[in-house]
Amino acid sequence: MKARYVLLCAVLAAAVAVSQDTTRSVWDGVYTADQAKRGESAYAVNCASCHGDQLNGGEMAPPLAGGEFMSNWNGLTVGDLFERIRTTMPANNPGKLSRETNADITAFILAFNKFPAGDHELPRTTEALKQIKLEAEKPKK
């Protein structure tokens, strides 16, 4: 009886661990349209002068949309992108933007790259964002 109880506990613990480890995709609608709209305004003020109005990059700034962008970020997480933005941007004053503004800008970048909007805003914590995978192509389910 005790062995069955221990086995049951182990199975339940493994199931919980697997469910907590599930990764979402940018294709799952991980930001809202309103959040991306706020991000568009913040991007225009803080990012467009270097990365361009169309997110196509500039002399010293990489593109934030299109094939080159996706080839650089494919397989990484939204958390990786968020942390890059949060800790290194804007170039003239890294780290000056709030987590909320960085999340909004990240949502705008996702929207510009044609990933679908959803019902919940993109989280502001790196840990939660690390659970969202950047995938160039929609996964087959």
List of the chain residues with pLDDT < 70: 1-22
For residues 121 and 56, the answer to whether their CB atoms sit within 8 Å is no
For residues 132 and 53, the answer to whether their CB atoms sit within 8 Å is no
For residues 126 and 83, the answer to whether their CB atoms sit within 8 Å is yes
CATH number, domain of 92, equals 1.10.760.10
Q: Is residue 7 part of a domain?
A: no
Instruction: Provide the domain limits for residue 113.
Output: 23-133
Q: Is residue 73 part of a domain?
A: yes
Compute the distance between CA of residue 3 and CA of residue 13 in angstroms, rounded to an integer: 15
For residue 116, is it left (φ>0), alpha (ψ between -120 and 50) or beta?
Answer: beta
Q: What's this model's pTM, rounded to 2 decimal places? A: 0.84
Nearest to 104 by CA among 37, 27, 30, 26: 37
Count of domains observed in the chain: 1
For residues 16 and 26, the answer to whether their CB atoms sit within 8 Å is no
Q: Is residue 110 part of a domain?
A: yes
